[in-house]
Structure 1
């Protein structure tokens, strides 16, 4: 059986399939894997530990040496992603209903999905339409992996009085320390970076499954539909913003649009946020499913949107201009 090959064919399959499988098991037979010892420890209770290890591995991929001319592009994309995601999340908190949702979406899911991006999709687009400093910009974009930027947005909203509770300094450190340790290890030793990169890939289906074991479809039956909407918003809001900002700066706008996605690892962000501040625990299950659905939606929709933008530039006779500059 070619299990891995099959999962690789599914957008976000290494994360989405285990999560949905576990959620199905938890909904139909919640006690099936809650039998104690190693089985329960790995498949039910391991989410926090595995996410912490994943964040350490992800932190190791942040290369502080390869910034150079890519610094401006990377910081611009990072800022656009965060500003758009945080703004939409802020609007969601302002107009959320009594159930704490906005258009059926958990505000924490909006921020987590829209401020995080799929590095694989970005590199695929840039590999075809960008140049080396566009690729190197990902060393800066890696900063949006994990819960950090989501926590920053939520803390700002808390200080403004729009979110109940702030993150203490200890809470910030407790979530960020694995990332910082990984970043130090990866920048001190490139072999450690490569070693931890492999670990990062391996951990995704396991923490996704453990997260799924905390999800009951009966309580979040509308989560997937909301997640599709979230994915559409992510592509068109953040992708379009990146396109026009890059165009205004006379950079390749296709590269700017390449950030309009949600990364599979963003599915861990709601749980990490709730671990740092219990105030957000009530919407974790819903937010997790919506972020997962957004991951799949953006993986399918973003390439189609990029193709549309490329054809649009071709019709205007401007694509060759950007491609030649990106050669």
Structure 2
């Protein structure tokens, strides 16, 4: 029936479709989990346990053996995006109430939604784009981008922005599964290969559990606003990342465009943050729906914009191709001692 190949045609399909199915179940049969109980209830309501295993697997998949160039590139992109999200959150906090906007087109918008959407990069898509339009070093920047997955970096960003304070035990607890996985994956390459398989496998399960915290009323109310949020992620973070890539990482800006997206894992952040800090509980459902829409929008537009940038300024631009051709011709024309170089 080619079910998986059809799902893969949808941007972020393995995240978005189970999320949608979970929202369907929660909207039309909200008591299903309690009715069946046992493992069925665990599958429907087990967001945190499933996510903790996923974070462990992500940590195990990251190799410590990264070149300094890769670390510099990924460090620039990750740190600049986090700082940009923090600044956007600080600016938004002057205009958006603590319990979010409750009237007009911006109904449902909150500082949590803005930071969660801007803070996490879609690492898988970034790596695929850089393999096609960038360099090996730029593709390798994916290694540190995995650190953005989950609530830890959003908690850090909220702290940097002065919008929330989390106990150190909570901060460490959010990072501990990742660190344990990272340690085991680097101690034994076979364990890394084994646990890495769980990264993609766990996605539809936690997405379905997350969907069971949403309903279609929330999704419908935040549809167009979610599109606007996705566009703002690309404009705001994309502009800053391009400049950072050019001036700090010595790239051509393509990696900056490729990182201007919202990760599918960002959908998990609002409910987790709300479970840790109850003051965010009232805005978590709408923030989750907004971030989910942003994931779809950026998944559709980031590849298009990255390809356009690569043709204008990157590895597919006429200037870059001409330079590569000249270098190849120079290497193919040997000049021996005593020989005369060909006339220009």
Deviation at 1:51, TM superposition (A): 1.0
The 1:319/1:109 distance shift into structure 2, 3 A limit, reads: farther
Deviation at 1:30, TM superposition (A): 1.2
Alpha-carbon separation, structure 2, partners of 1:88 and 1:7: 33
1:112 to 113, 116, 124: 116
Which residue is equivalent to 1:137?
141
The 1:185/1:324 distance shift into structure 2, 3 A limit, reads: farther
The 1:129/1:27 distance shift into structure 2, 3 A limit, reads: same
TM alignment of 1:51-130, pairs within 5 A: 51-97=51-97, 99-101=99-101, 103-104=106-107, 105-130=109-134
5+ residue gaps in structure 1?
none
SS of equivalent residue, structure 2 residue 64: coil
Query: Is 1:310–1:319's contact at 8 Å kept on the other side of the alignment?
Result: no
Deviation at 1:317, TM superposition (A): 4.9
- 1:175 matched to 2:179? The reply is no
Alpha-carbon separation, structure 2, partners of 1:23 and 1:323: 51
Deviation at 1:36, TM superposition (A): 3.5
Which residue is equivalent to 1:267?
267
SS of equivalent residue, structure 2 residue 115: helix
Deviation at 1:183, TM superposition (A): 1.2
Deviation at 1:151, TM superposition (A): 0.3
5+ residue gaps in structure 2?
329-344
SS of equivalent residue, structure 2 residue 251: coil
CA RMSD of aligned residues (A): 2.4
Alpha-carbon separation, structure 2, partners of 1:58 and 1:181: 10
Deviation at 1:322, TM superposition (A): 8.4
The 1:33/1:202 distance shift into structure 2, 3 A limit, reads: same
TM-score normalized by the length of structure 2? 0.86
Deviation at 1:192, TM superposition (A): 1.6
Deviation at 1:156, TM superposition (A): 2.8
Deviation at 1:297, TM superposition (A): 0.7
Alpha-carbon separation, structure 2, partners of 1:322 and 1:272: 49
SS of equivalent residue, structure 1 residue 34: helix
- Which protein has the larger Cα radius of gyration, Structure 1 or Structure 2? 2
Deviation track 1:221-252 (CA, whole Å, cap 9, x = no partner) reads: 32232221121111222222221222224322
SS of equivalent residue, structure 1 residue 251: coil
Deviation track 1:176-235 (CA, whole Å, cap 9, x = no partner) reads: 111111111111122222222211211111111111111122245322322211211112
Deviation at 1:39, TM superposition (A): 4.5
TM alignment of 1:1-327, pairs within 5 A: 1-97=1-97, 99-101=99-101, 103-104=106-107, 105-158=109-162, 163=163, 165-249=164-248, 250-313=250-313, 317-320=318-321
